[in-house]
Amino acid sequence: MIASLTVGVTYPGAAENVFAVSVTGRGQFQESKTVRTNETRLLSPATINNRNILNLALGQPLNSALPPNRILALVVNCAGAGTLAVYDPMTSNVVATVATLTSSNLLMASNVFCKTVEGQRHCSGKSTAFAALGEMTLAATGNRGTNAIDGGSLCLYVSGALDAHECAKNVVANGLGNIDVTFTTSHRDPQTHEQVDVTGSIRILVQSLTLTTGRKLGTIQGN
């Protein structure tokens, strides 16, 4: 799930580049199970991926089929801001914001180019890559009380390249933290043998999360 990737200063109305993104991760959550009259608390594994994020952000059960016009994307403003979003590639619109990210301790790599004009030496630099620490803050999205992302935050290490316009590309982020979610699943009642919906809210402790951008999907022009 990600966010506001600060590489420079944000200017109102700047264009935003949209990239396909892959998010994978794993964690654990606590659940209780009752066997006869004994209650046991277990640490169960949790899987984080594009499908799970999209379904919860859209307010759907985790095993739902995704519509073809809803994908996970990283939207990055060349001047600095960005979001992890549910994106509609058919209309080129952001449907929902999943998370925002702020960065600190920014490091930049650059090349310096020099030339001599009329006996005067002129040099200019161009940034080529960056690395930073970041914090991902998840937004409340989906259907509260049934299937939703309720919030959370992760600490990240973010790196990537900069294109000829010094816009971020080839972004990779790794981190850990917590994600709060609510989801509804269907179970068979042991007494009535009927299928019943069970809703629970859990906190996932994320052991590892990796976000990687892929191909550029388009550009959203600022207002």
User: What one-character-per-residue DSSP string does 25-42 give?
Assistant: EEEEEEEEEEETTEEEEE
Residue entry with tokens 């095993």? 63
CA distance to 22, 23, 43, 44, 189, per residue, from 40 (Å): 35, 32, 10, 12, 19
pLDDT of 173 above 70:
yes
Residues 46-91 pLDDT 10s: 999 999 999 999 999 998 999 999 999 999 887 666 799 999 999 9
Residues 84 and 211: their CA atoms lie apart, in Å, by 10
Q: Read out DSSP for 188-211?
A: E-TTT--EEEEEEEEEEEEEEEEE
pLDDT, residue 8, reads 35
- SS3 state at 157: strand
Tokens of 120: 């005067």
pLDDT, residue 85, reads 96
Residues 188-215 pLDDT 10s: 766 676 777 788 899 999 999 999 999 9
Residues 37 and 190: their CA atoms lie apart, in Å, by 14
Kindly report the pTM of this predicted structure.
Answer: 0.83
Residues 102-127 pLDDT 10s: 777 888 898 888 888 888 888 877 88
